[in-house]
């Protein structure tokens, strides 16, 4: 999902064994041109507390705006279209 040499525009909060996360990753691969980073929440107690029951969550890096699953390609495009303040 992350394109080499490019800083991620979006972060996907996820964890291993999460079938919804796998679906979100597939959607992002197919529908989004922007670089997407992957954040493993199991490695951080704070992230696990914050996102444990919400994943997959997509977060825009520059604004902090988040999309909780379920989201579709149109919702991701809308998230990317919003101008940073």
Of the candidates 27, 35, 24, the residue with the CA atom closest to the CA atom of residue 2:
35
The structural domain count of the chain equals 1
Q: Which residues of 38-48 are buried (b: 16+ CB within 10 A; e: fewer)?
A: ebebeeeeebb
pLDDT, one tens digit per residue, over 11-56 is 999 999 999 999 999 999 998 888 999 999 999 999 999 999 999 9
- State yes or no: pLDDT of 5 exceeds 60: no
Q: Which domain holds residue 70?
A: 44-85
**Could you tell me if residue 64 is inside a domain?**
yes
What is the token pair recorded at 21?
């996360």
- Is this prediction's pTM over 0.85? yes
**Could you tell me if residue 26 is inside a domain?**
no
């Amino acid at each position: 999902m992350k394109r080499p040499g490019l800083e991620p525009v979006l972060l996907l909060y996820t964890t291993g064994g999460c079938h919804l996360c796998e679906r979100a990753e597939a959607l992002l691969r197919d529908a989004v041109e922007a670089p997407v980073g992957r954040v493993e929440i199991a490695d951080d107690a704070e992230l696990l507390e914050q996102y444990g029951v919400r994943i997959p969550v997509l977060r825009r890096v520059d604004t902090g705006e988040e999309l909780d699953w379920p989201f579709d390609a149109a919702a991701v495009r809308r998230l990317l279209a919003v101008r940073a303040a």
